[in-house]
Amino acid sequence: MQHVEPSIPKAGQPGPRASALSRFFDSDLWYSFTRSKVTMLAGFVTLLYALGALLAPWIAPNDPYDLTKLTLWNSNLPPMWLAQGNPEFPLGTDDQGRCVLSTILYGLRISLGVGISAVAISGVIGIALGLISGYVGGRLDAIIMRIADVQLAFPAILIALFVDGTLRGMFPNAAREASAFWILVIALTLAFWVQYARTVRGSTIVEKNREYVQAARVIGLSSFTIMRRHVLPNVLGPVLVIATINLGLAVLTEATLSFLGVGFPPTEPSLGAMIQIGSRFLFSGEWWITLFPGIALAVLVLAINMLGDWLRDALNPKLR
Amino acid sequence: MRGFAKAFAGAVLAAGLVLGSGAQANNFRMGFQGNLNTLDPYTINETFTVAFLGNVYEGLTRRAPNLDIIPGLAERWEILEGARLWRFHLRRGVTFAGGEPFTADDVLFSAARVRGETSDLRARIPNGAEFVKVDDFTVDVRLPAPNPILISDWDTWLIMSKTWAERNSATEAVSSRATQPGFSTLNANGTGPFVVQSHQPGVRTVLAPNPRWWNDANKQHNLTQVTFTPILNDATRVAALLSGEVDWIDPVPVQDMDRVNANPTTQVLAGPETRTIYLGFDQRRDTLLAPAEIPPAPAGAAARTSTNPFKDVRVRRALYQAIDVNLIVQRVMRGQARASALMIDPNLFARHGAEFQRFPLDVAAAERLLDEAGYPRIAAFRNNSRFSVGMDCPNDRYVNDAAICQAVIAMLARVGVHITPIIQPRAQYFAKILAGGGYNTNFYLLGWTPGTNDSHNVLLQLHGCRDDRGSGGVGVANVGGYCSQAVDALTTRILSEANPVVRDGLIRDAFVISQNQDVSHIPLHQQALAWGVNRRVTMAQRPDNVFMFYHVMMR
Amino acid sequence: MLAFIIRRLLQSFFVIMAVGLLAFTLFRFVGDPVNQLVGQDTSVEDRERLRTALGLNDAVPVQFVRYMWRAVQLDFGLSYQFKQPVMQLIAERFPATFELALVALFLALAIGIPMGVYTGLYRDSWLSKTFLATSLVGISLPTFFIGILLIFVFAVQLKMLPSFGRGQVVDLGFWNTGFLSRSGWLAVIMPAITLGLFQMTLIMRLVRAEMMEILRMDFIKFARARGLKNRAVHFGHALKNTMVPVITITGLQFGSIIAFAIITETVFQWPGMGLLFLRGVQTVDIPIMAAYLMLIGVLFVIINLIVDLLYFAVDPRIRSAAKATG
């Protein structure tokens, strides 16, 4: 969605011969994690959200997506501690009588699901294209990078508007529940892969010309092996940072798209859709419909970003 | 008394002049949810655009705040030869803003222009009508068949100057298919109480009073300027009214009405609107479209009449009785609507309120009817449902449209009818469900305002038998394809029946068949008009949502 | 060098063609423009005639070639809704978006850089932590939500700032500006904050990271060793060296700001290109959508080209790589 390359650590050092996994979880990283209370809190909060999303069907007080249980008689109830509040709906209800707390939990499943899928898919595509582009160079590099240019012209929001419109034009009868998830994942993937590709390509070009890679080539190692063993480990740090930032962005973008009318159907609101629905009731005093999902979203993105911050500093060798 | 009124008016005028020369100019600032895209009154047949331009241009007739037809550019008219000939006597001494005198030539010119290939308002004048200039101030309209309601929508057929149009090559309406910009898109020259001072489409339009208006001596407004700004976002529009940056907004979201009324400087002007919101079913196709799923009848179930459940009147009636329209009115519309038993507003058909009642809410009866029609609940199907069908719904066209659909979906879920919502912005929505999209829907929510303010329009357009493509103008908006020869026969008789009592009887008969016997549609409600106004503004509100600035006073 | 530039120009040309193709084909399938142009009760025959007149019944490649040929001449056709040349509409709306973007960017830089410098210099001070935390809150809420909250507080409750529009606009003939009136300046404050908040956070964190890196470099240590004052070291040497990436990013952000103005302009009814575009999407106004996309595409390609050339001039490694791969 936004351009963040230069704020991530530059991977310029020769790669250690350790595997990617052990580099991720080496003791330095763990040590810096345990040293900062804020980071630990952020990690704890993120974990809590993930659990809440995973266990929503078991821990949510109501099933907000079950239409047979919804009734307008319960609409616009305030949180339970206010007059007319109902303990059945701890954080109140929205205009259709949906429990706000349950919708937050169920909506998190969608929001995080979209975010994680988009980040994972775009990461794989972006790293692969970046490695190929940087290592092979030449015409292939030019083509990939020009596609990346085209891509940068279209932020996730624009892409989502296109993808959504195109699919709707082609399958006018498709239920939105089924398509909304993939529309968002596709739009975000298309928007995110460029950052990975550009970062990885940049590092790859630098690595490629170093003596040890030249040496590896001389002793007959295949390109694939060289890329995997020597180039990949060096770029995983920045990639992880980008992934974290993008996860926060994905959740935010989903909310924004709900505002522009692209997103999940109102019968199965995501976290962002809930904020959008509630923002219409801000002036009328039914603040709980938008405020609680808004806080939930802000805390989640905040926690993810703090983890990203910590990762960036911890993985930057110059700052250690 | 009259003398007093005159003196009073004089005093008000003097006060106005004093204030006008001082700080307080009466600039009426409007915030509306849509754009004003064109100044050509024949480009698009859309309520807002035509209504706004009705302040700059005028028709042969006008409508009073209570919707009575009153003289406009025609001072009076006669209905001759059993409504086959209408004679209009035009107002003398009227000039267009550009100085051109208004004569019969302008009426003939405007008739030709509005019937032209490029006009979107062609339906204003019936086929075969012939305009004849008797003298400079008399025009005859000769009709092939009697038509007692000829002028019912002529208040929005606005008269243009022939001289002006010819001078500026604007003799044809700027159409939707125009590939060259037209002069009349950005320029206007009417006889009305206001003139366009500046117009930037989608940004701002400024009107000023027309000092040469023929009725200026009796004007009921004290405005020195009208500034129109589109404000598309609901919250921003309400904020602009609350903070005093605009004097009028339309619409006020129903949930914000209390807030607007609680604010010391603003209030909501709410009144009934003639638009009826209703649900319709596909009664034409034999097989429903995706994503509908009709599971085969289990053993022991009653026999079905068709593979399309909506072809069975029992199913239609079951859905009708499963929907608690009063709850929708109370909660979703927050009381700003009135439940309706017919497809037309009671104000437009006198026998509606007295003789027609809604089927009562009865969930048990609905379940029984569905069982009888051969659609029992099936435990393994979508959590104990009967059948599943998609529902098309707009989310930016009517007041709380998507919220109404959601409520309906939840109510139908309780009698075992599973609905998949297909909720879209109006561009895609209309493209899909109307004639252009091949009526691509099985179940939908729509709203309808009869342009003629008359039941005939409703019976013809929403109930008339149509073919697959809606050609010929009959039943073009009959999305579900309801068809009854009896209703069609009555509709034809209604058009030419001149006796109002007989006519109302025929209309009643038609609605008894379509609504009470056939359950052709599920009428829900007439939504309320909701204008937010600053308390220093007094204005008349018309149920057809047309607003006239000459009814606006500002303090 | 010249060969490199020519090659990049050629590539840019193909990129723009690709953007055009993309924009054109995508929009060809969004909804049906005809329904937007006529009333609900227009017959099928009339609709069909309209389709033919608009060229919507021609073969798609024919429509594309026709479209691109006109686009080259800056002719994007007439807007379906406004019956005005699209280029004229965009030209009318561009100043609004440009001024909004300019103020937003200025705010982002004027607040983001000092905050970045401070947090970079004093990593562990409580003020730094406060800056960092508040800036994170700014990017943790959706833009539209921040805008509505601002309106609620400053327009409705405090009645300090206007909730919509550009205020008094002065027409200079070739450009209309809100910078020459008090109301114009008041009107731009909230939209610019809404739009610039994200960029501000980005710039602050970028400057902070760069500062922290540069302060560890040898030349800074030498400067200190030479006895230079802290102020001279920080602003004379360190900050100056952080500026290159900041300028690059700012350049790249400017295009994305214009794209993101869609949301801000919708919330504040700011009469710019973004509002025009969103309205175009809602009403399936294909000429507006396509022209807007082409514009954004061309803008990005130009900025990218400049940045690439800058890198080429600055970084000898890339130059040698370009030579090596031919």
pLDDT exceeds cutoff 60 at A161: yes
**CB pair distance less than 8 Å for A146 and C11:** yes
Chain C residues with CB-CB distance to B185 below 8 A: 82-84
Q: State whether residue B421 is helix, strand or coil.
A: strand
How many angstroms away from the CA of B191 is the closest CA of chain C? 24
| pLDDT for the residue B5 | 42
How many angstroms away from the CA of B115 is the closest CA of chain C? 13
Mean pLDDT of all residues in B165-190: 86
How many angstroms away from the CA of A69 is the closest CA of chain C? 30
Chain A residues with CB-CB distance to B406 below 8 A: 96, 266-267
On whether the CB atoms of residues A72 and A65 are closer than 8 A, the answer is no
**CB pair distance less than 8 Å for A7 and C152:** no
Nearest to A122 by CA among A202, A184, A44: A184
Chain B residues with CB-CB distance to C155 below 8 A: 239-240, 242-243, 245
Chain A residues with CB-CB distance to B403 below 8 A: 95-96, 266
**CB pair distance less than 8 Å for C216 and A162:** no
Name residues whose C-beta falls within 8 Å of residue A134's C-beta, 6 or more positions apart in sequence: A141, A200, A201, A202, A203, A204, A205, A208, A231
Q: What pLDDT, in 10s, does the model give residues A121-160?
A: 999 999 999 989 988 888 899 888 878 877 776 778 877 7
Encode burial over B236-256: b for 16+ CB neighbours within 10 A, e otherwise: bbbbbbbbebbbbbbbbbbbb
Residue of C nearest to B467 (CA): C44
Residue of C32, C144, C294 to mutate, interface with A, max A Cβ within 10 Å? C144
How many angstroms away from the CA of B311 is the closest CA of chain C? 25
Residue of C nearest to B120 (CA): C38
CB-nearest partner of A175 from B327, B410, B422: B422
How many angstroms away from the CA of C182 is the closest CA of chain A? 28
Measured from the Cβ of residue A16, the count of other Cβ atoms closer than 10 Å reads: 11
Chain B residues with CB-CB distance to A94 below 8 A: none
Q: What pLDDT, in 10s, does the model give residues B227-245?
A: 999 998 889 999 999 999 9
With a pLDDT cut of 70, the percent of chain A lying above it is 84
Residue of C nearest to A293 (CA): C141
Instruction: List the structure tokens of A155.
Output: 């932020």
pLDDT in 10s for each residue of chain C, 326 residues: 678 778 778 877 887 888 888 777 765 655 565 665 565 556 677 777 777 877 777 777 888 888 788 788 888 878 877 888 888 899 889 899 989 999 998 999 899 989 998 998 888 889 988 888 788 777 788 888 899 989 989 998 899 999 999 988 888 888 889 999 999 999 999 999 999 988 888 888 888 888 887 877 777 777 777 777 777 777 767 777 777 777 767 766 766 687 678 899 999 999 999 889 888 877 777 778 878 888 887 877 777 777 777 666 655 555 555 444 43
Q: What is the CATH number of domain A36-53+98-319?
A: 1.10.3720.10
Q: State whether residue C313 is helix, strand or coil.
A: helix
Q: Identify which has the larger pLDDT, C109 or B472.
A: C109
**CB pair distance less than 8 Å for A173 and B331:** no
DSSP codes of every residue in C68-134 = HHHHHTT---B-TTT-SBHHHHHHHHHHHHHHHHHHHHHHHHHHHHHHHHHHHHSTTSHHHHHHHHH
What pTM was computed for the model? 0.84
Pairwise CA distance, residues C53 & A135, whole Å: 52
| pLDDT for the residue B291 | 86
Least confident of B153-162, B474-483, C138-147: C138-147
How many angstroms away from the CA of C165 is the closest CA of chain B? 9
Out of 3.40.1500.10, 3.10.105.10, 1.10.3470.10, 3.40.50.10490, select the CATH number for domain B275-527.
Answer: 3.10.105.10
**CB pair distance less than 8 Å for B409 and A267:** yes
pLDDT exceeds cutoff 50 at A1: no
Chain C residues with CB-CB distance to B472 below 8 A: 43
| pLDDT for the residue A9 | 43
Residue of C141, C286, C323 to mutate, interface with A, max A Cβ within 10 Å? C141
Mean pLDDT of all residues in A314-319: 63
Q: Is the peptide bond before A265 cis (omega within 30 degrees of 0)?
A: no
Least confident of A30-39, B486-495, C313-322: C313-322
pLDDT exceeds cutoff 60 at A18: no
Measured from the Cβ of residue A257, the count of other Cβ atoms closer than 10 Å reads: 28
**CB pair distance less than 8 Å for C141 and A297:** yes
CA dihedral over B536, B542, B547, B549, signed as positive or negative = negative
**CB pair distance less than 8 Å for C268 and B181:** no
Chains linked to C by 3 or more Cβ pairs within 8 Å: A, B
**CB pair distance less than 8 Å for A252 and C142:** yes
pLDDT band at B305 (very low <50, low <70, confident <90, very high): very high
**CB pair distance less than 8 Å for C140 and A319:** no
Q: Is C267 on the interface with B (CB under 8 A)?
A: yes
Domains in chain B: boundaries = 12-250+536-554, 275-527
> Residues of C numbered 142-201 whose beta carbons fall under 8 angstroms of chain B's beta carbons: which are they?
148, 151-152, 155-156, 159, 162-165
Pairwise CA distance, residues B414 & A70, whole Å: 9
B12-250+536-554 under CATH 3.40.190.10, yes or no: yes
**CB pair distance less than 8 Å for B410 and A173:** no
pLDDT band at B135 (very low <50, low <70, confident <90, very high): very high
Residue of B nearest to A176 (CA): B422
Q: How many CB pairs under 8 A join A and B?
A: 95
Q: What is the distance in angstroms between the CA of the first residue and the CA of the last residue of chain A? A: 29
Least confident of A67-81, B438-452, C214-228: C214-228
In a 10 Å sphere around its CB, with 0-12 CB exposed, 13-18 middle and 19+ buried, how is residue A168 labelled?
buried
| pLDDT for the residue B10 | 40
Least confident of A245-259, B338-352, B490-504: A245-259
Chain B residues with CB-CB distance to A168 below 8 A: 424, 428
Chain C residues with CB-CB distance to A111 below 8 A: none
Instruction: List the structure tokens of B379.
Output: 């435990």
| pLDDT for the residue A34 | 78
CB-nearest partner of C163 from B239, B430, B469: B239
DSSP codes of every residue in B359-411 = PPP-HHHHHHHHHHTT---BTTTTTTBSEEEEEEEESSSSTTHHHHHHHHHHH
Q: State whether residue B61 is helix, strand or coil.
A: strand
Q: Is the peptide bond before B272 cis (omega within 30 degrees of 0)?
A: no
Beta strand B204-209 pairing with B69-71:
unpaired
Q: Is C325 on the interface with A (CB under 8 A)?
A: yes
Residue of B nearest to C32 (CA): B431
| pLDDT for the residue A209 | 79
pLDDT exceeds cutoff 80 at A16: no
**CB pair distance less than 8 Å for B406 and A284:** no
Instruction: List the structure tokens of C26.
Output: 């995508």
Residue of A241, A279, A286, A292 to mutate, interface with C, max C Cβ within 10 Å? A279
CB-nearest partner of A68 from B238, B406, B414: B414
Q: Is C209 on the interface with A (CB under 8 A)?
A: yes
**CB pair distance less than 8 Å for A265 and B423:** yes
| pLDDT for the residue C289 | 80
pLDDT exceeds cutoff 60 at A177: no
Mean pLDDT of all residues in B304-330: 96
CA distances C172 to B159, B314, C169, Å, are: 36, 68, 10
| pLDDT for the residue B132 | 96
Residue of C nearest to B241 (CA): C156
Domains in chain A: boundaries = 36-53+98-319
Residue of C nearest to A295 (CA): C141
Structural domains in chain C plus CATH codes: 86-282 (1.10.3720.10)
pLDDT exceeds cutoff 80 at B471: no
Chain B residues with CB-CB distance to A174 below 8 A: 290-291, 422
On whether the CB atoms of residues A256 and A155 are closer than 8 A, the answer is no
Pairwise CA distance, residues B397 & B478, whole Å: 18
CB-nearest partner of C266 from B177, B233, B471: B233
CB-nearest partner of C41 from B38, B123, B186: B123
Q: Is C301 on the interface with A (CB under 8 A)?
A: yes
Q: What pLDDT, in 10s, does the model give residues A302-313?
A: 898 888 878 877
Residue of C41, C66, C276 to mutate, interface with B, max B Cβ within 10 Å? C41
Residue with tokens 């919101």: B277
